[in-house]
Structure 1
């Protein structure tokens, strides 16, 4: 399953266990998107704790739903972050991102 490259930018709260972090990424239109979820969802490459030095590169599992632009270079795809239930504060889980933001 592909993963979307993100950055954990801050520790939000210790509860519920194992703690909550805010994660951000930039979509294809250049908008900074934010999600807040359990640290374990994003901690595939690094342990996230209140003492960690942020930002930290992390990933979130995603599903590629299709190509938007089939141009040369860095194409744009639609992805959903639904595999781990990750959403933005307004409930959004589908985004257009540059293909280079994905780890196959």
Structure 2
């Protein structure tokens, strides 16, 4: 399993339960992407409205392609049915942005 390192930047709402958070990351081109979903989707510590944001979290992803000459990967965040606020599910990221586990 591969996980993308991200940051939960704020608590969005208590509803629907168990609560929504906004999570961001920068891709290999330094473009910022944001997601809003229930906090358990993003592995890491339990998040609450009172958490000390930003909080490092991880997002389950699939590796679609790898470019060994540039150390970049194309990933999909579709395993959880997640998409960015812009509707994207595939991103190019650096190898160092992923953890395995």
TM range (shorter): over 0.9
Structure in which a larger fraction of residues adopt strand: 2
Q: Which residue of 2 aligns with 1:45?
A: 44
Aligned to 1:100, the other structure's residue is in SS state helix
Matched, 1:82 2:78: yes
Pairing 1:8-87 to 2, within 5 Å after superposition: 8-42=8-42, 44-67=43-66, 69-71=67-69, 75-87=71-83
Cα distance between partner residues in 2 of 1:4 and 1:19: 21
Q: Which runs of 5+ in 2 are unaligned?
A: none
RMSD: 1.0
Cα distance between partner residues in 1 of 2:9 and 2:26: 13
TM-score normalized by structure 2? 0.95
* Structure 1 stretches of at least 4 aligned residues deviating more than 4 Å after TM superposition: none
User: What is the CA distance between 1:48 and its match in structure 2?
Assistant: 0.5
Q: Which runs of 5+ in 1 are unaligned?
A: none
